[in-house]
Amino acid sequence: MPETAAPATELTSQYLAQVTGDLERNAKEQERISAEIASLQEQLAAVQHNHTVLVNVQQALGLPQPPAQPTADAESATVPSPRQKTPAARGRKHEARKSVAPPKKAAAKKPQAKPADAAKTAQPTLVELIRRHLLELTEPRSAAEISAALGKAHPERQFADKVVRVTLEGLVAKSQAERTKQGRSVFYTAPGPKPAETPEAQAQPAHTDH
């Protein structure tokens, strides 16, 4: 009896050592994977933030939005897949039946994009909102102040300071806004008549000649 008990205790001790080692490895692996997941989530949040900023810039510049085209290409690319599988199994009759079906699906999906486009066009663009705000101002305002005011007036939308600044510079380039500097700060106002362009300013040099 004592001879058989000794090998049994040695086996149990070996199993315990293996199990404890596996548990430590498993715990370390869980920590490593959780750290990778946390870093990936941070990267995803940063990429999503950059995406929203780029979309706002695209809307401010009035560029067309291309996301609708890849979806149409994806639909056209997925349509031929059932045609290639069915001929070998069911014959040429099934090819003719299924070749007629995909255009119906595409025709049904195209009208769904129109209400979404109509909803986007119903809202005023960022350029229109900034023009209206500049006309209501009595004093020059910075891009950050204009962005904060628009955020209060339209809480359902997001206004990034960078996007508002880019839009304001575009309006200045089109002579639809005026840009003034006070030290390092830049302020914007609605375009107005300049004193040098008034008839009184142009008539002053004529009196100096006499």
- pLDDT tens, position by position, 176-200: 899 999 888 999 999 876 444 444 4
pLDDT at 14: 87
Distances in Å between the Cα of 126 and the Cα atoms of 57, 59, 179 are 9, 7, 18
Q: Is the pLDDT of residue 60 over 70?
A: yes
pLDDT at 109: 57
Give the Cα separation of 134 and 153 in Å (integer). Answer: 14
Give the Cα separation of 144 and 147 in Å (integer). Answer: 5
Going by C-alpha positions, the residue among 147, 145, 146, 142 that lies closest to residue 160 is 147
User: How would residue 171 be classed by pLDDT, with cut points 50, 70 and 90?
Assistant: very high
Q: Is the pLDDT of residue 137 over 50?
A: yes
pLDDT at 23: 94
Q: Tell the residue number behind the tokens 């994977």, with chain if given.
A: 33
